[in-house]
Structure 1
């Protein structure tokens, strides 16, 4: 009851703040009867809070306007990543949204002043669609299970088309938005990516819940076996079907979660895609449903659709599992702080570290 009362108070405060702050920015012309409806602000996540609401007003001409919106606010307390930046994520979505096949929600406005809501935030248009679930895994439950084989095949094919479209972006102006501010000249995008990862690893190393030895071994392999490539395209950073909204006819309505986006070879994303499917399926004891391709079929179809692979993907699956292990180790700490039992919290890094071990064995065999 206390938690419900706290949540209600939080939503009321958000609604009142938006009613006072938003009208002149969302409806700058003469208007009246500005209102906020259907506000839903679930408990803040570890990388930011999402708030859903509808804003409406009457124009000077007497027309009633209404917009369904999503507010994404940077996490002010618990953070999974070392440098959360909500406004950068908004800029990335704006830069990518105009490219063929790359569908991102439209950014309505951004606000850097933390005094408004407690942290920087942005508003975007709400996209309606069905999103495959992580918990419980979409390989076992949810609307994806109710699809027939051909529908699942179609959904997955459309998802891979979207990934190929992301990797087809080679516009210099767009890539400049995604590059790290301190990116050095005469250093490849992959080397830059690994340098940032090394720094993140060093920051989190002392607080690893488990897997310290395996991750140390993995980092030795990753740093000593760097592919010789100067490829640079968009790296989504969290490329997977769970970050896509699908229309009723199984087209891709939107691509979400660009928080860790950067640049580099496309194999970074493809390695993450392959690893995360295993994390949500085989690592949980599930078998892929009919219509959902295995790793080899994913790679083959990615290439048929126009994607390019120029390196050993085994390196990139180790890289992906290594990154996931850092994330889930941090997540376990935050979950325990939030009251979750330690055994359940540890299960996430346990699965991720086990994948690191699996991919290391594949790479060195």
Structure 2
């Protein structure tokens, strides 16, 4: 889902050009060649595409990710922490993520801190409409869809080889299930969901079922899902969108990965694509790849539903304020709460 643009292209180009002229990015650009585009942006962060030639005549494409400049989707956000996490992934694994070229913590340049990263070419499974309904994943043959799924799962497992005690990792806040439940429960007023009976029921269940810590804490992607993966053919070219990164048990990422796919199929009344492995096969494959016993997956699936219901409340309010016709109610939050209710009923 996208939001209307808020910036003037010309004034933004001037700001970006001025910043590039005094910032080390790893290549020397020709100032006259700098061009920017302001695509329709996602809800949680703003994206600016930059194209420039270097002094040798080569063309470089890069992306600026700007932190929230208005209403936030998350209770707390740090664009710098996201950049730090991307750099940590590149230092400590072979998981493909964009290279961070520069970080700007000063909010006065573009209205919020931001970072510059390389542009990664490829295609992304769509959320709107769901990839289960249309788009390039739906157009694949079943064996290719299977390859897309396993490539994502393999990248996720490789990411989880970065344990939280690895040297030189960034500070990403408190780790573990109790900290996650506390963080999201404390945000009920922020999301204006304190009076929702389904969300309150999920909160109570989570508080009463926090698992005993067994798995080693690892670096988490946070928003682990097909829609945040850039593909080339059926191979993963980059994992993107790290707003929810942190440390915790690997089941947290796996549960989110499974739950968001469930939302984009059953949760919206769409037939799940043939060829995408189901939950049980996925869990078995992850356990085999990682050598881990997954003990707490049900807890993290409920937590995923809880978090998703809260996030969709903020996304829905923002969508409705950006000009959706009043006769076309945005069903995202309603669907998320219904799926959470179904999840709780199955416990």
Is 1:51 the equivalent of 2:48? yes
1:10 maps to which residue? 8
Tell which deviates more after alignment, 171-180 or 123-132.
171-180
1:77 maps to which residue? 70
What is the aligned counterpart of 2:190 among 203, 213, 228?
Answer: 203
2:241 maps to which residue? 257
Contact 2:125-2:227 within 8 A present in 1 as well: yes
Larger helix share, 1 or 2: 1
Q: What SS class does the counterpart of residue 314 from structure 1 fall into?
A: helix
Shift of 1:342: 5.3
2:225 maps to which residue? 240
Tell which deviates more after alignment, 308-317 or 123-132.
308-317
Q: What SS class does the counterpart of residue 201 from structure 1 fall into?
A: coil
- String of CA shifts for 1:136-168, please: whole Å, max 9, x gaps: 111111111121111111111111101111112
Q: Distance in 2 between matches of 1:314 and 1:32?
A: 51
What is the aligned counterpart of 1:161 among 146, 154, 166?
Answer: 154
TM-score by length of 1: 0.87
Contact 1:275-1:317 within 8 A present in 2 as well: yes
- String of CA shifts for 1:43-86, please: whole Å, max 9, x gaps: 4432111011212232xxxx224321000001110210111211
Contact 1:170-1:233 within 8 A present in 2 as well: yes
Alignment gaps of 5+ in structure 1 = none
1:34 maps to which residue? 31
Contact 1:15-1:36 within 8 A present in 2 as well: no
What is the aligned counterpart of 1:91 among 84, 96, 107?
Answer: 84
2:18 maps to which residue? 20
Q: What SS class does the counterpart of residue 159 from structure 2 fall into?
A: helix
Q: Distance in 2 between matches of 1:99 and 1:113?
A: 27
Q: Distance in 2 between matches of 1:153 and 1:200?
A: 37
Q: Distance in 2 between matches of 1:223 and 1:27?
A: 46
342 and 351 in structure 1: CA distance in 2 versus 1, 3 angstrom threshold:
farther
43 and 290 in structure 1: CA distance in 2 versus 1, 3 angstrom threshold:
closer
Shift of 1:284: 2.0
Alignment RMSD (CA, Å):
2.4
Contact 1:271-1:320 within 8 A present in 2 as well: yes
Q: What SS class does the counterpart of residue 66 from structure 2 fall into?
A: strand
Contact 1:35-1:57 within 8 A present in 2 as well: no
Contact 1:164-1:302 within 8 A present in 2 as well: yes
Q: 1:1-365 alignment to 2 at 5 Å?
A: 10-26=8-24, 33-58=30-55, 63-170=56-163, 172-173=165-166, 176-180=169-173, 183=174, 189-204=176-191, 207-208=192-193, 212-231=196-215, 232-248=217-233, 250-306=234-290, 308-341=292-325, 344-363=328-347
TM-score by length of 2: 0.91
Residue-pair matches, total: 344
Contact 1:127-1:254 within 8 A present in 2 as well: yes
Q: Distance in 2 between matches of 1:307 and 1:280?
A: 29
Q: What SS class does the counterpart of residue 190 from structure 2 fall into?
A: helix
Greater C-alpha radius of gyration: 1
